[in-house]
Amino acid sequence: MAGSGDPPEGTPEGLPGGGEDEYRSVVFDESFIRAARLQEFSAQERMGEHARAVRSRPGFDSGRRSKQPLLLVLLILLAFGTAIYLGVRNPYQPPAVHRAEPLRTTMTPLAPQGRVPGGEPAELLAHSPAAEYRTGAAGINLPPDVGRTEHFSESQVVTALSVAKDYLVASSLDPDVLAGSTARPVRLLIDPDQLAQFDSSLESPRTDGRHAPAGWLVRFDSAREAVVGTSTRVQGTLHFAEIDAGVLEVTSDHTFTYALRPAVSGSGPAPAASLFTVHREVQFRFDREDLRMHRAELLTSRVEAGPQACVPDSRGTLRPLLAGEQAPGTGAPAVTDPYAVGENTVAPLCGTLSPKAQPVL
């Protein structure tokens, strides 16, 4: 039998506890009513003609909702315009493009006092100042105190020193470059601003302090002399310094001793060899683009080489005197030792090769 609070037919099926209990946990407080999107008209308002049962509350006006996407688009356009304006008005200015200067060269032939000693390469080297020098690229070493500078990291300093070493190897030790058959390994390491000067120096050598081939590389006349194997001995130093916030400078000072034989064809006993010494001081300069592209700007190149004759019109090329040859009389120019690394005792146009620089047999 139904209770006093239940409907005559009892509790509806599927609604345990009665329909009223289903909404007992819902509290229709004032904030809930204010948040409702629809509001029911009063009985009096619904009696009017064409009256609707409900109306939209002001807070949910569809016109306002339709303006939100437009406002978002306007904000995006404003942000984009501001970014463009700031990019145009950015006070940061990119660094000025660094232009490489022309290479300045000094080429000084060193004339021997008497005939050039001859013999076997190993014997000549063993009795010369180059006896303790290393062979080939092993004689070109990075300094032990490599580190960062104020504006360049240690890795950038190492890169500059490595490029300088690569240049010395390519321009002083590469067999094809020494024989004069190519200059490409050297050219690939030169700043593009200096390539025209480099090409002109090899194609049209001139004694103007700008276009001496020996300022760029060591090259012999393959029709007259040839380097003996890989017997070249090398010793010297590399130094680095920061010139300003955007430029590193590397200075190389190395002595190269080559064993040369006269170029001959056919069979028969090999002619006597002789030693030829080249003292090279090269000043390299690197900006950040040079470091990135693995290339160098050559600022100055100073070369002392002998034994060779003091020929006024040598045009900056190397003309070694071979075993048994003698230089014509040249007066008494300053005695110069190409093995004296770090000393600046050379005469401007010609020097006398120090007897200490020759092998003593």
Task: Give the model's confidence band at 188: pLDDT under 50 very low, under 70 low, under 90 confident, else very high.
Answer: very high
Confidence of residue 37 (pLDDT cuts 50, 70, 90): low
Identity of residue 253? D
pLDDT of 114 over the 60 cut: yes
- What was the pLDDT predicted at 60? 47
What residues does each domain of the chain span? 28-88, 104-357
Q: Give the range among 75-84, 178-187, 271-280, 288-297 with minimum mean pLDDT.
A: 75-84
Kindly tell me the number of DSSP H helices and DSSP E strands found in the chain. 11, 11
What's the whole-number average pLDDT of the chain?
A: 82
Side-chain half-sphere of 189: how many Cα atoms within 13 Å?
21
pLDDT band at 334 (very low <50, low <70, confident <90, very high): confident
CA 246 to chain centre: 12
The answer to whether the beta carbons of residues 333 and 350 sit under 8 Å apart is yes
Least confident of 147-151, 251-255, 308-312, 345-349: 345-349
pTM listed for this prediction: 0.72
pLDDT at residue 70 tops 90 = no
Report the alpha-carbon distance of residue 152 to residue 248 in Å, rounded.
8
Band (pLDDT 50/70/90 cuts) for residue 61 is low
| pLDDT at res. 311 | 75
Of 246, 70, 232, which Cα lies nearest the Cα of 137?
232
pLDDT at 201 over 60: yes
The DSSP-derived string for 119-140 is: B-HHHHHHTSGGGGSEEGGGG-
| pLDDT cut 70: percent of the chain above it | 73
DSSP 147-158: ---SSS-HHHHH
Percent of the chain with pLDDT over 90: 55
Predicted pLDDT at 265: 75
Q: Specify the higher pLDDT residue, 25 or 350.
A: 350
The number of C-alpha atoms within 13 Å of 182 and in the hemisphere containing its C-beta is 10
The sign of the torsion formed by the CA atoms of 308, 313, 318, 320 equals negative
Burial class (CB in 10 A: 0-12, 13-18, 19+), 95: exposed
Give pLDDT, residue 226.
93
- 119 token code pair: 């013999």
> Which pLDDT score is estimated for 73?
78
